[in-house]
Amino acid sequence: MNLSILLTFTLLYNVVLAKIHTFNWTTGWGNYDVDGTFERPVITCNGEFPWPDIRVAKGDRIEIYLTNGFTDANTTLHAHGLFMKGMNQMDGPPMVSQCPIAPGDTFLYNFTVDDNVGTYWYHSHTLGQYGDGFKGKLIIEDGENNENFPYEYDEEVSIELSEWYHKTSEELIPSFMSLFNPTGAEPIPQNLIINNTKNLTWDVKPNTTYLLRLLNTGGFVSQYFWIEDHNMTVVEVDGVYTEKNTTDMLYITVAQRYSVLITTKDDTSKNYAIMQKFDDTMLDKIPKELELNATSFMTYNSSAPKPEESYVDSLDDYLDDFYLIPYDKVEVYGEPDYTITLDLKMDNLISGVNYAFFNNITYTSPKIPTLMTVLSAGTDANNPYIYGTNTNTFVLNRNETIDLVLNNLDSGKHPFHLHGHVFQLVWRDRPYDSDLGEEPHAYNETESHTFPQYPMMRDTVYVNPQSNFVLRFKSDNPGVWYFHCHIEWHMVQGLTIVLVEDPYGIQSDPTQQINQNGLDICKSVGVMTSGNAAGNDDFFNLKGQNVQENFIPGGFTAKGIVALTFSCLAGILGLATLAFYGLMDIPDAVEKVADDLSIPLTDIVDTSTHFT
Ligand SMILES: *[C@@H]1O[C@H](CO)[C@@H](O)[C@H](O)[C@H]1NC(C)=O
Ligand SMILES: *[C@@H]1O[C@H](CO)[C@@H](O)[C@H](O)[C@H]1NC(C)=O
Ligand SMILES: *[C@@H]1O[C@H](CO)[C@@H](O)[C@H](O)[C@H]1NC(C)=O
Ligand SMILES: *[C@@H]1O[C@H](CO)[C@@H](O)[C@H](O)[C@H]1NC(C)=O
Ligand SMILES: *[C@@H]1O[C@H](CO)[C@@H](O)[C@H](O)[C@H]1NC(C)=O
Ligand SMILES: *[C@@H]1O[C@H](CO)[C@@H](O)[C@H](O)[C@H]1NC(C)=O
Ligand SMILES: *[C@@H]1O[C@H](CO)[C@@H](O)[C@H](O)[C@H]1NC(C)=O
Ligand SMILES: *[C@@H]1O[C@H](CO)[C@@H](O)[C@H](O)[C@H]1NC(C)=O
Ligand SMILES: *[C@@H]1O[C@H](CO)[C@@H](O)[C@H](O)[C@H]1NC(C)=O
Ligand SMILES: *[C@@H]1O[C@H](CO)[C@@H](O)[C@H](O)[C@H]1NC(C)=O
Ligand SMILES: *[C@@H]1O[C@H](CO)[C@@H](O)[C@H](O)[C@H]1NC(C)=O
Ligand SMILES: *[C@@H]1O[C@H](CO)[C@@H](O)[C@H](O)[C@H]1NC(C)=O
Ligand SMILES: [Cu+2]
């Protein structure tokens, strides 16, 4: 066989094997009782809930026609963890790589899965929508029937974990981002769910090794996960195969995935508890009625009794993912060419609303999707200024080693996700506890640190309270990529940066030009498709750009300004107007504000005048 015949044969062979998976989805609303205690509106797919799984093999093409069936909200879809090489416009975040899809419009997400295998998910990237149910699993087989998976197993099964609210995001966001919530306390979920239900039964066969794919598709709280009297051997995290590591408990932040091997017992006389537990340190308040754990059932024998809940001695003994080793043993990349340092904090702006900041900037969407600014800016595309001064946009050169140093000045844990990449977690510091008088600990770049030889790689990782981590990755994927906290509440508060990676590489790639469908949805939603962050053709004129509110002026404390703004508002507008703006929807709103701020009620407002 000569070379050209061989090549033709190989090409044909590939064409035959690579499948196209087409989905035609319309969003909508329907009423469902997900947790068995309360019926509420959820986001449906073609009128149904939950959303379907996607299962493809590496190399396949996915085509999703997504029609916005809402009457009053935009939407978009993101395939979480997929690299989207050369296909940045299919990544999903609105005003980053595409325009929002307006009601009635259809956008075709058309991409091949070239470089990813393993456990992923898709979800709306429009604020709050995935918490309302717009999400599903996306499993990528490594070869036909997953034949290239590096470990042996008999059966495969997936389990999706999440928290669940009884109110919709539409109801929760206005009271969360309000004067009535000056500490930025996140809404408390009502339940833990599993596979979009509770009390799940997993029927298992004895003497069988299962590949169990676990996904936390929640929008807020991390979960501990364990199965009574069964070990789990981790073999994949976020699409990266690992050396085996056996544990009896996992800690899974929102957006993370773990694949584990579980070998069942050869005795079918007894059933076992599958346990989920909230990381309650992430909850500002723990209401008495909130059940912090949920029990499901690993069932060997349906006529044997259901198990009781299973306890663990300590929640501290979960597998620390820092120590996992990628199966491919990728060595720690060399010294960085470029380092981005981010200081995270939460604070109030002048309106009294609590926001999240990186380096004092709360992400404020540009007027033009950043990818379209890249494509229209010519040689100016490598100047971060044109992307706006309120978007935290960093420009990365092609094929460099990048360090992302994150200093968490906040007392909460945050799970961070980078689009378009997996990164090496080269450093993660321990938690620092303000209750023990410890100050937030920033990463000291001049100190010498020892990094693992084969750092763990994944796409979502948590930072400890008042602590820091260092992520290292290669800028080998030209595109505009979000890096953000995956707690949806913190996204709403602006905890995001944007990486413009190899802008000239984006410009010169024919497949990276915005397609007609992409241009059409912009036109429909009234967004221009060229210009700088302000929509100006003079790229160095940012007049008219979107910016955050002012900081609280010196001399005032956050508490003081909140109290002042609150009493002014109440005084000027009166109670009826506040109610009109939906600000009074929270029961005992004033008491709550006073309590959150630990100040007397009378410091906020003369209650006898305004609130009787
Ligand atoms: C998708 O479904 C809608 C409604 O059933 C139909 O009108 C449309 O033609 C379908 N589109 C494709 C590409 O199949
Ligand atoms: C789960 O079990 C509890 C207690 O028996 C019950 O109240 C609830 O409705 C069940 N939930 C579902 C979704 O089956
Ligand atoms: C949809 O997006 C456009 C463009 O950003 C915006 O002007 C409009 O307010 C959005 N619509 C809704 C309902 O949020
Ligand atoms: C999806 O993209 C591929 C590659 O650009 C193209 O060949 C194919 O026609 C597209 N699919 C549809 C339905 O437009
Ligand atoms: C969880 O749901 C998926 C469908 O999304 C299903 O394939 C799987 O079997 C379910 N897991 C269990 C343990 O029932
Ligand atoms: C789990 O693994 C540990 C350590 O390898 C072992 O001591 C223990 O017996 C195992 N437990 C079960 C239920 O297999
Ligand atoms: C499990 O396998 C062992 C050894 O291979 C065998 O002795 C036992 O009977 C099997 N148990 C069941 C329940 O099939
Ligand atoms: C589960 O939560 C309940 C109530 O919140 C508590 O009484 C029980 O001890 C918890 N069980 C476990 C295993 O943590
Ligand atoms: C497994 O994880 C533990 C930390 O939980 C770590 O100490 C150990 O080195 C890891 N082993 C392997 C082989 O990854
Ligand atoms: C943020 O603002 C504070 C207070 O004004 C200042 O001390 C700090 O240097 C600023 N941080 C950055 C990264 O600009
Ligand atoms: C960048 O790196 C990729 C992957 O290592 C390589 O294929 C590509 O040729 C490199 N590009 C340049 C301009 O060095
Ligand atoms: C950082 O480390 C260097 C070298 O050990 C030390 O001199 C310096 O004081 C440290 N800086 C801080 C802020 O701790
Ligand atoms: Cu966060």
Q: What is the pLDDT of residues 481-500, one digit of tens each?
A: 999 999 999 999 999 999 99
Task: Give the integer Cα–Cα distance in Å for 34 and 208.
Answer: 31
- Checking DSSP bridges between strand 257-263 and strand 272-278, what pairing results, if any? unpaired
Residues in contact with 299: Cβ distance below 8 Å, sequence separation at least 6, in sequence order: 201, 202, 203, 204, 271, 306
Question: In terms of C-beta distances under 8 Å and separation of at least 24 residues, what long-range contacts does 432-436 make, across chains too?
Answer: 432/464, 432/465, 432/466, 432/467, 433/465, 433/466, 434/466
What superfamily does domain 152-326 belong to in CATH? Cupredoxins -  blue copper proteins (2.60.40.420)
Residue 545, both tokens: 């750009």
Residue linked to tokens 């602006």? 494
Question: What is the pLDDT at residue 111?
Answer: 98
What protein residues have CB closer than 5 angstroms to ion ligand 13?
414, 485, 487, 490
Select from 48, 158, 271, 272 the residue to mutate for testing ligand 5; criterion: most ligand atoms less than 8 Å from CB: 158
Contact assessment for residue 357 and residue 342, using Cβ atoms and an 8 Å cutoff: no
Cα-to-centroid distance, 575 and ligand 2 (Å) = 41
Is the CATH code 2.40.160.40 the one for domain 18-150? no
Residues in contact with 170: Cβ distance below 8 Å, sequence separation at least 6, in sequence order: 73, 128, 132
Question: What is the pLDDT at residue 610?
Answer: 32
Residue bearing the CA closest to ligand 12, atom 14: 444
Residue bearing the CA closest to ligand 7, atom 13: 266
Q: Which residues of the chain have pLDDT under 70?
A: 1-16, 555-612
Closest CA to 341 of 407, 391, 282, 294: 407
Question: What is the pLDDT at residue 608?
Answer: 33
Residue bearing the CA closest to ligand 12, atom 6: 447
Query: Is the minimum distance from the CB of 341 to ligand 8 under 6 angstroms?
Result: no
Query: Is the minimum distance from the CB of 309 to ligand 8 under 6 angstroms?
Result: yes
Closest CA to 191 of 219, 221, 165: 165
CATH 2.60.40.420, the chain: domain bounds: 18-150, 152-326, 338-525
Q: Cα separations (Å) of 10 from 14, 142, 144, 587?
A: 6, 19, 17, 67
Task: Give the integer Cα–Cα distance in Å for 245 and 242.
Answer: 8
Task: Give the integer Cα–Cα distance in Å for 275 and 308.
Answer: 10
* pLDDT tens per residue across span 299-349: 999 999 999 999 999 999 999 999 999 999 999 999 999 999 999 999 999
Q: Is 350 exposed, middle or buried (0-12, 13-18, 19+ CB in 10 A)?
A: middle
Question: What is the pLDDT at residue 352?
Answer: 86
Question: What is the pLDDT at residue 6?
Answer: 45
Contact assessment for residue 98 and residue 518, using Cβ atoms and an 8 Å cutoff: yes
Task: Give the integer Cα–Cα distance in Å for 485 and 476.
Answer: 22
Contact assessment for residue 537 and residue 382, using Cβ atoms and an 8 Å cutoff: no
Task: Give the integer Cα–Cα distance in Å for 412 and 440.
Answer: 11
Our CA dihedral for 86, 88, 91, 94, rounded to 10 degrees, sits at -170
What topology does CATH give the domain 338-525?
Immunoglobulin-like (2.60.40)
Angle at 469 between CA 344 and CA 551, to 5 degrees: 5
Question: What is the pLDDT at residue 552?
Answer: 78
Phi, psi of 575 (to 5 degrees): -60, -40
Cα-to-centroid distance, 212 and ligand 10 (Å) = 45
Query: Is the minimum distance from the CB of 293 to ligand 8 under 6 angstroms?
Result: yes
Query: Is the minimum distance from the CB of 195 to ligand 2 under 6 angstroms?
Result: no
Query: Is the minimum distance from the CB of 527 to ligand 3 under 6 angstroms?
Result: yes
Residue bearing the CA closest to ligand 4, atom 3: 110
Helix (H) or strand (E) holding 578: helix 558-580
Any alpha helices (H) in 130-276, and if so which ranges?
A: 169-176
Query: Is the minimum distance from the CB of 263 to ligand 7 under 6 angstroms?
Result: no
Question: What is the pLDDT at residue 602?
Answer: 60
Query: Is the minimum distance from the CB of 205 to ligand 7 under 6 angstroms?
Result: no
